[in-house]
Amino acid sequence: MPLDTVCCMCRRLYEDGGHLFLKCKEVKAIWRELNLEDVRQDLAEAVSVKEMMVKILNLNHKQQLMSMMLLLIWWGERNKWREEGRRRTAGEVAYLTALLTDRFQAKEAKRLLPDFRQAQSSQAQKWRKPNSGHFKVNTDGAYDSNTGLECWGFIIRDDQGMMVKSSAGEEAFLQNALHAELLGCPAGLTEAARLGLNQVCQEVDASADENCD
């Protein structure tokens, strides 16, 4: 069976692991953009996948994460381009790689900080039922000041605590967690209105106040 073995990203050379991830001119631009050209050159000298992995494991933590993230994202890019004809620019892939690496590190830091977890759990409040016949919309937000990325979410429950509906979304370039949380409010209320619920309480995480009408 004849197979097309040419690299689909550059259409110039044969695709193997070394070419696709390290030597293709398309991917080289991204390693450069991420200030990882030295790392790329070193990895390209490896004579086996195992040797390359050992080199990655010996990198400093940030470079290690970023390299792994790039390999993963680039494989996805290659498949998307091959199967669906869609691809990002080198700048976009570099940005995404850096962004996801930062997010991953932020999550990791949270896991490593028991104080942070303790503070979080002591803040958690027990959910209280709304008045009989009412529905309650709870909203919450999360914000990463390094990336300006944030997520909001809401959940609508009935007076027995049964979930009626929930949803979540993501926004970029907003100001803080409260801002994220506030975005969940109209989303939750709009959904409640769409469902025809007319006795609705709203509760946000950052505030103990409830507004019922």
In the complex, the residues that contact Zn ion under the rule CB under 5 A are 7, 9-10, 24
Other Cβ atoms less than 10 A from the Cβ of 13: the count is: 15
Burial grade of 156 (CB within 10 A; 0-12, 13-18, 19 or more): buried
Q: Is the CB of 10 or the CB of 178 nearer to Zn ion? A: 10
Q: Is the CB of 18 or the CB of 98 nearer to Zn ion? A: 18
Q: Is the CB of 27 or the CB of 156 nearer to Zn ion? A: 27
Beta carbon of residue 64, minimum distance to Zn ion (angstroms, whole number) = 24
Q: Are 26 and 90 in contact (CB under 8 A)?
A: yes
Beta carbon of residue 10, minimum distance to Zn ion (angstroms, whole number) = 3
Q: Is the CB of 9 or the CB of 70 nearer to Zn ion? A: 9
Q: Is the CB of 11 or the CB of 117 nearer to Zn ion? A: 11
Cα→Cα distances 43→10, 61, 116, Å: 20, 16, 37
Beta carbon of residue 25, minimum distance to Zn ion (angstroms, whole number) = 7
CA dist., res. 18 & res. 6, Å (int) = 13
Using the 8-state DSSP alphabet, how is residue 35 labeled?
T
Beta carbon of residue 148, minimum distance to Zn ion (angstroms, whole number) = 33
Beta carbon of residue 184, minimum distance to Zn ion (angstroms, whole number) = 44
CA dist., res. 137 & res. 191, Å (int) = 10
